[in-house]
Amino acid sequence: MIDTTVFQDKTAVYYTLGCKLNFSETSTIGKTLREAGVRTARKGERADICVVNTCSVTEMADKKCRQAINKLVKQHPGAFVVVTGCYAQLKPDAVAKIDGVDVVLGAEQKNDLLQYLGDLHKHEAGEAHITTTKDIRLFVPSCSRGDRTRYFLKVQDGCDYYCSYCTIPFARGRSRNGTIASMVEQATQAAAEGGKEIVLAGVNIGDFGKTTGESFFDLVKALDQVEGIERYRISSIEPNLLTDEIIEFVAQSKRFMPHFHIPLQSGSDDVLKLMRRRYDTALFASKIEKIKQVMPHAFIGVDVIVGTRGETDEFFEDAYNFIAGLDVTQLHVFSYSERPGTQALKIEYVVSPEDKHKRSQRLLALSDEKTQAFYEQYIGNTMTALMEKSKEGTPMHGFTDNYIRVEIDGDDSLDNCLVDVKLIGFNDDRTSLKAEIVS
């Protein structure tokens, strides 16, 4: 039993880097601490506990984690500092050496944070306590809203794919998941709290079911039955796991939105082979075609990595031309970053930082063209948008079923409301459509 009296009247700050999964897990950590009596510190208030949930997707991410920890240590002198997440899992010794850090916890320990905090007495500099597990197998459930309108339901964690450039299997462990029944229960709870939209999150969500003998398709069908949840979005799903039956189901479902996010990573078959991805461009193109055939209005976001080892000028041109010809809506462009311990380091051809930058700029420009062309088709239409809390000083915004970002005149009372809006035209920086509420 943990003695929670030590946590009474303590305050905490949370800092998250990285993906949706991390944000969702930080909210769950926050909930655990709140239940133990820890209040979230107000803006500017000095906290007793700092929790940093780190990311290690690139070298830059590692650097940002170190900077964030140093900043928090300075802002909250004397606070008990806990660092967890992918960077903590992969480089625990480096994290433990940072001045002010008390406890370093791996991926599996996130769930039991309380038991590692002891009596909150600070450790000597450089003597942080490290607890990580190499063979990560525990599935830590998480469904949270944080300060956003949408809920993020973690359905799966880890990955067994071992793509040549990726460290996620080392940082998050093997593919695993909770049961369909537990996911339905969490979605039902979210609906009872007033939640209207849930994003299904995971590292390789199409792989759902590995540890429970179930399937992602069965999960989708079960969640579709939960009363009160009006919208689901499937976050990133591997193209080889996005089956026709899932696409067809989404097309006829009222709750699963016509919105997909599919990692392509490269539009060159030669580079896909070097990356050890499990599909080729022909398969990817067939998935896009299938989606558009049954849902012509679907929003399709695509991840692309530029400058991977082995991506010659010629391969990049192949990739660019392939992507330019795809009927997709938005590109999420990442620059390749060398990660220690990955197979990609054995490939000799290295892309210069200048070339990576140029390639990334070309794809970002292509992405803008595609997104704007997609948005333009809907100007003049009336659609339903779920409104979200806006940041101070920014217009109220929301998203249509097919993920068009709309801005309206309105206030936070519309947060989490489904509103019929008429789409008028682009906003000033052409990142959203201005819209008017239709009475």
Stretch that binds ligand SF4, among 76-84, 157-165, 209-217, 282-290 (CB under 6 A): 157-165
Q: Which of 2, 162, 252, 313 lies at the binding interface for ligand SF4 (CB under 6 A)? A: 162
Q: Among 137, 168, 141, which residue's Cα sits nearest to residue 152? A: 141
Which of residues 342 and 427 has its CB atom nearest to ligand SF4 in the complex? 342
Q: Which of 52, 65, 159, 331 lies at the binding interface for ligand SF4 (CB under 6 A)? A: 159
Residues with Cβ within 8 Å of residue 154, at least 6 apart in sequence: 21, 24, 25, 140, 141, 142, 143, 201, 202
Is residue 161 at the binding interface for ligand SF4, with CB under 6 A as the rule? yes
- The pattern of x and - marking residues 92 through 121 that bind ligand SF4 according to CB under 6 A reads ------------------------------
Q: How far is the CB of 44 from ligand SF4 (least distance, A)?
A: 38
Which of residues 235 and 432 has its CB atom nearest to ligand SF4 in the complex? 235
Q: Letter for the amino acid at 277?
A: R
Is residue 205 at the binding interface for ligand SF4, with CB under 6 A as the rule? no
Task: Please give the Cα distance from 147 to 150 (Å, whole number).
Answer: 9
Which of residues 161 and 249 has its CB atom nearest to ligand SF4 in the complex? 161
Which of residues 17 and 79 has its CB atom nearest to ligand SF4 in the complex? 17
Q: Which of 203, 257, 344, 351 lies at the binding interface for ligand SF4 (CB under 6 A)? A: 203
Would you say the C-alpha torsion 428, 259, 183, 54 has a positive or negative sign? Answer: negative
Q: Which of 136, 163, 219, 333 lies at the binding interface for ligand SF4 (CB under 6 A)? A: 163
Residue 257 token pair: 């939105």
Q: Residue holding tokens 């991805």? A: 277
Residues β-bridged to residue 259: 299
Q: How far is the CB of 266 from ligand SF4 (least distance, A)?
A: 12
Q: Which residues of 125-143 are buried (b: 16+ CB within 10 A; e: fewer)?
A: eeebebbbeeebeebbbbb
Is residue 385 at the binding interface for ligand SF4, with CB under 6 A as the rule? no
- The pattern of x and - marking residues 117 through 156 that bind ligand SF4 according to CB under 6 A reads ----------------------------------------
Q: Is 393 left (phi over 0), alpha (psi -120 to 50) or beta?
A: left
Is residue 169 at the binding interface for ligand SF4, with CB under 6 A as the rule? yes
Task: Please give the Cα distance from 292 to 251 (Å, whole number).
Answer: 10
Q: Among 284, 289, 260, 256, which residue's Cα sits nearest to residue 272? A: 284
Stretch that binds ligand SF4, among 95-103, 139-147, 162-170, 423-431 (CB under 6 A): 162-170
Which of residues 156 and 186 has its CB atom nearest to ligand SF4 in the complex? 156
Is residue 344 at the binding interface for ligand SF4, with CB under 6 A as the rule? no
Which of residues 102 and 238 has its CB atom nearest to ligand SF4 in the complex? 238
Which of residues 70 and 343 has its CB atom nearest to ligand SF4 in the complex? 343
Q: Which of 36, 83, 168, 271 lies at the binding interface for ligand SF4 (CB under 6 A)? A: 168
Strand order in the sheet with 39-40: 39-40, 11-16, 49-54, 80-85, 101-105, 129-131
Helices (H) then strands (E): counts for the chain:
12, 20
Give how far Cα 84 sits from Cα of 79, 199, 286, 379, Å.
Answer: 16, 23, 40, 45
Other residues' Cβ atoms within 10 Å of the Cβ of residue 323: 23
Q: Which of 204, 215, 371, 400 lies at the binding interface for ligand SF4 (CB under 6 A)? A: 204
Under the rule (CB under 6 A), what is the footprint of ligand SF4?
A: 159, 161-163, 166, 168-169, 203-204, 238
